[in-house]
Structure 1
């Protein structure tokens, strides 16, 4: 029987892989045999994540500390991975942040920070991984984690910098897919809906937000742990050769309304 999702022997970098969705997706790829690089700023956390993944899935996993707003740090981190594994087959650009405030109160610093992490950080990682690892061998899978808020506005939680940055990630995905498609590299984006993370826990637990979710999400609930995994595995798979430039909402139908 053909396993269309076998990632054995491949190396995957997952950014923002110290907590939350990044850790979940790293475990998902490891469950299919991929070796994992957990990349984030907090060294102790990513080392713990890597050790847990290696133990659970019998793959090689390491933590690499990196601030994706620092170009030199990104270049060095990618070189570290190449020195360790000799290849990078999959990149999941998951690192992100989110400033929530009325647009009229958002500061320049907040807007700049959002762009530096969510948009420019995604580009820095994609650029360096493509340059060092993927273009030379004519193969790669880049998966950018945008947001359903990169596709629509919202009235419940004002977050204009986040909308702008994630909207940028959506069209950056299309641009890179167009540019690198003939180099054997596919570039796609996942647009998650409401999932529990350390950044969203307090908001999603509030009574008013839960009532809003029941009205606005066709499935009438938040995303559960693991419900991004199949999308990540699908887009990372060698068999998904002709899937390129796709923007895939995983949002319980939120953006269908």
Structure 2
């Protein structure tokens, strides 16, 4: 009886210690805030929402940032706040990432301002044809509203420009062993009805950048590719449209 109790005690203790070890492993990310201090960062889609907040977080860590969006007045405000929060440098490029020349100008500006690039964070969302928020809220099945013009424009802004910016930045990221971060969502993992254009984009982002990650690993290029899969987030613009 004593041997059985002793064995059970050791098994229980082993399980407990194993659970503690797993908990420590999953909660330890190994992130060193000092590794970002002085790092050069380009973030797209920074006039509001997630992009704006990321700019402030990098600023608090003492990074040098360059942000983009279409609204110059908002970019000026974000740059001013980023500097007040501790950014070593803060610059902006006002432009439409759906235009090849604006993508090229963004990466070229980073090269001119910083001379290097450590992080490229792709976050922008938009369309030049119709408000994306309105399109999502309408929630019409594709066969009832096959809006090809919107579909082509949406993929150009939210997929092709991501690939273009990453391609332009890769030579710089290879030099610094840098980081490529792509903001995506659960729509790229599970098909959803009435937002086929959104799922198409997010699934494609996953496919392209996951493949790129493997290619870089095979070529022994030390550039990390992170696909950030986000859940539902009530940014100010979405909250306003949802009236919450």
- In the superposition, the TM-score normalised over structure 2's length comes to 0.76
Q: CA deviation at 1:108?
A: 0.3
Q: Secondary structure at the match of 1:134?
A: helix
How many residues matched?
201
**Separation of aligned partners in 2, 1:128 and 1:50:** 24
Q: Secondary structure at the match of 2:33?
A: coil
**Separation of aligned partners in 1, 2:117 and 2:168:** 11
Q: CA deviation at 1:81?
A: 1.3
2:88 to 59, 80, 96: 59
2:119 to 86, 90, 93: 90
What are the within-5 Å matches in structure 2 for residues 220-231 of structure 1? none
Is the counterpart of residue 168 in structure 1 residue 199 in structure 2?
Answer: no
**Separation of aligned partners in 2, 1:120 and 1:91:** 16
- Tell me which residue corresponds to 2:150: 110
Q: CA deviation at 1:47?
A: 1.7
**Higher RCO, Cα 8 Å, sep 6+:** 1
Q: Secondary structure at the match of 1:183?
A: coil
- Tell me which residue corresponds to 2:79: 50
Q: Which has the higher helix share?
A: 2
The structure that has the greater radius of gyration is 2
- In the superposition, the TM-score normalised over structure 1's length comes to 0.73
The runs of 5 or more residues in structure 2 that have no matched partner are 1-29, 127-131
Q: Secondary structure at the match of 2:98?
A: coil
Q: Confirm or deny: 8 A CA contact 1:138 1:183 kept in the other structure.
A: no
**Separation of aligned partners in 2, 1:67 and 1:120:** 13
2:160 to 107, 120, 129: 120
The runs of 5 or more residues in structure 1 that have no matched partner are 207-257
Is the counterpart of residue 18 in structure 1 residue 47 in structure 2?
Answer: yes
- Tell me which residue corresponds to 1:235: none
What are the within-5 Å matches in structure 2 for residues 120-159 of structure 1? 120-131=160-171, 133-135=172-174, 137-155=175-193, 158-159=194-195
Structure 1 residues 190 and 161, CA gap change in structure 2 (3 angstroms)? same
Structure 1 residues 43 and 193, CA gap change in structure 2 (3 angstroms)? same
Q: CA deviation at 1:44?
A: 1.7
Q: Confirm or deny: 8 A CA contact 2:192 2:199 kept in the other structure.
A: no
- Tell me which residue corresponds to 1:233: none
Q: Secondary structure at the match of 1:200?
A: helix
- Tell me which residue corresponds to 1:4: 32
Q: Confirm or deny: 8 A CA contact 1:53 1:59 kept in the other structure.
A: no
Structure 1 residues 153 and 50, CA gap change in structure 2 (3 angstroms)? same
**Separation of aligned partners in 2, 1:194 and 1:161:** 17
